[in-house]
Each structure stands twice: as C-alpha cells, then as structure tokens.
Amino acid sequence: MLSFCIVMLDTRPPLSEGSKCKSLYLWAKSWTSLIEGLGIHSLELVQARTLIALFEVVHGLYPAAYISVGATTRATDALNIHSRYLSSPDPPNNGTPTPEVAFIWCGIYTLDRYMAIESGSRLSLTGSVTPDIHDGLRKLICPSLYDEDHTSAFYKVSRLYGAADILDKMHTALNNPTGDSAADAQHIMLLLETASNLQAIVTKDIGYTDEVYSGALSLCNTGLFLAYENASKLTFIDEIITTCNTIGTMSLNDLLATLAAKLDPFVNGTTIADFDRLSPFTMLMVYRAAALVTQRLLVENTCQDNLRMLRIFRGFLRTVSERWLCCERYLELLDENTTPRLLKFIEQGQNTDSGNT
C-alpha cells in the first residue's frame, strides 16, 4: 500500500475522470478503508495515509485534504507512537525512536500547519490533539542539526519541522493574543528574529540557487508575511503603533520584491523549474504573496511595481500548475478576488511578456 501511494504521488495529472492519476487516487482511498476495515493497522499504513493527504494538498483536493490530515493524526495516535516512543524521557533500548517515526510526525505536523494557515484564524489540530509529541520530536531532531551532511533527509526534515514550529507560534500569536499588547509585541518580535535567523542558516546550508525549493524557507517566509501583513494593517493610534505599521509595511515591500526577483527567472524561461523538487509550502507562499499584491492593486491600481510582481507570482503558479494542481485552485481564488479590469491589465502584460520571450 505504501509503495502504491508513492507511485500515485509520482504520477502526473490530469485528475479528470478516467485518467490514470484519478484512478490511482480513488483506489488508494478505497484500499486504505478496506484494510482498516479488516482490522489491520501499521506504521506503513499510516505512512501511506500521510502520502494520500499530501497528494490531496498538492492537487488542491478539498475538503478531502482537510479531512485526511485530521484522520491521519488520529490514525497515528491509534498506534500510540507518541506515548510509546516519544513521551518517555528515558525510553528502553527496544523502544528507541526511529527516523520513520520522526518523519511521520514531522510530516503530519507540517501538513497540519499548512491546513491551519489555509483555514485563516483557526488553530492547528496537532497542537491540541498531541501536545506531548513536541518535546519528544525535539529530542530526536535537534541532534541532527549538527550533522555535517546538510543533504541528508533527516537534516532537511529537522529544518522543516523547526520552520513549521515557528510558523505555528506566529499564527497563534497573531490570531490569539493574550491581551497584553507589550508582551504580545515582544513575543512576535522574538519569533521574527528566530525566523530570520533560521532563514540565514538554511540559506547558507543549501545555497542561494536552491532557495525556491526549500520547504523550510517557504514556511519561514509565510510566517514573515503573516506578521508584516498584520503590522501593515494596524490603525494609527500612538507613536508605537505608527512605528510598527511603518516597519511592517517596509519589511513586507522588501519581502515581496525579493520573492518576485527569485521567481522571475522561472517565469521568463531563463530557468526551468524542477517540479518534483518544489514543496507545497512554496506554492502556498507564492499564493499568499499574490493575494497581498492583489489587495494592494485594488486600492492602488496605478502602481506598476505591484502589477509587475503580481504577473510574476501568477505566472509562477500557472507554470507549476502543469504538475501540481493546487496552483490552479490558487489562481481561481485569486481571480475571485480580482476585478475584471485588473484581470485584463494582468493578462495584457503576461501576453506581452510571452511574446517578448
């Protein structure tokens, strides 16, 4: 079943009725339910479930993806993985945590953060369902951060987990403030500093040419987008709020411009994207950037810089949609929040760029 799900995830769209990709997906969903109905449950089956949830996320299959992430969390709980392997401070030798166990929880934890960000202000599921997994995961993962082999799978998952944890804390802090403005602001500033430091470390490890493919960097950027967007929308009340608004707006501008510059070579054809290396968190980050710029253009429709960046973001999503259908969904969501006049300007510019290329 696990091997079958790997093949399914590696199969290219379309997902139309009768297509190979659609058939594999429906078989995987059916067989998973059948196996569980027979009373069979195993680590490999949970891994297969996680891949099915990932497939639904990267192809924009909703509400199936939302349901699957929750079901996979419960399926992992059913194995008592976190209590058996992670909760005990001194686990017995025969209960030593394995990379497979850590990978499963990191995968579920990270996908859950993805779903939480997509759902707006709602909190993640794993934060409340399995609060005791975090300390155990840190004990497993933190030692690998000193691993000299930065290309190892464990090292990459370690960084991905760290970025997802920062994003979760940022999302929670922004949507569930304590009521103490000074303490909340200090906490968010600390998270911003942590996210920036992690970005610098990951970039140094992987090199600038691979930044677009890093899920950890994409999650960090998404957290920064959330914070800077929130700060840029603050109402001018006093000097402190005004300063936060100014810094948030400037930082958001810099972040958007930097992202557009990194994606431009993939849109104009200078660099060919390796679709299979792209993280779903990269697509989410680009969508959120495009949504932010769209909101700006609805207010400042004469800003050419914003229009240029939006064309790059939409062009990247359109290019990647050939492999991962979630980008089609993102483009549809963007169109729903775009006026016909603005959409016409965007399409005219993209047609001109295509002709020049």
**Residue 87 confidence (pLDDT):** 37
**Residue 146 confidence (pLDDT):** 60
**Residue 338 confidence (pLDDT):** 86
User: ∠ CA(155), CA(158), CA(163), 5° rounding?
Assistant: 130
**Residue 251 confidence (pLDDT):** 92
**Residue 76 confidence (pLDDT):** 82
Q: Which of 123, 25, 33 is nearest to 71 (CA)?
A: 33
**Residue 89 confidence (pLDDT):** 41
**Residue 86 confidence (pLDDT):** 40
**Residue 144 confidence (pLDDT):** 56
Q: What are phi and psi of 37, to 5 degrees?
A: -65, -25
- The rounded average pLDDT for each run of 10 residues, N- to C-terminus, in the chain (357 residues) is 95 84 94 91 91 95 91 83 43 52 83 83 66 62 62 80 89 85 85 92 84 92 92 75 84 94 94 90 94 88 84 95 93 90 77 53
Q: How many whole angstroms separate alpha carbon 346 and alpha carbon 331? A: 12
Q: H or E stretch including 284?
A: helix 280-299
Residue 285 to residues 57, 205, 222, Cα–Cα distance (Å): 14, 21, 5
Q: How many whole angstroms separate alpha carbon 35 and alpha carbon 182? A: 53
**Residue 348 confidence (pLDDT):** 74
**Residue 114 confidence (pLDDT):** 87
Q: Please, which contacts does 38-47 make with residues 24 or more away whose CB atoms are closer than 8 Å?
A: 41/75, 41/78, 41/79, 42/79, 43/79, 43/81, 43/100, 43/101, 43/104, 44/1, 44/2, 45/1, 45/2, 45/75, 46/72, 46/75, 46/76, 46/79, 46/104, 47/2, 47/5, 47/100, 47/104
> pTM score > 0.75 for this model?
yes
Q: DSSP letter at 60?
A: T
Q: Return the domain boundaries, the chain.
A: 1-10+23-86, 153-339
**Residue 92 confidence (pLDDT):** 41
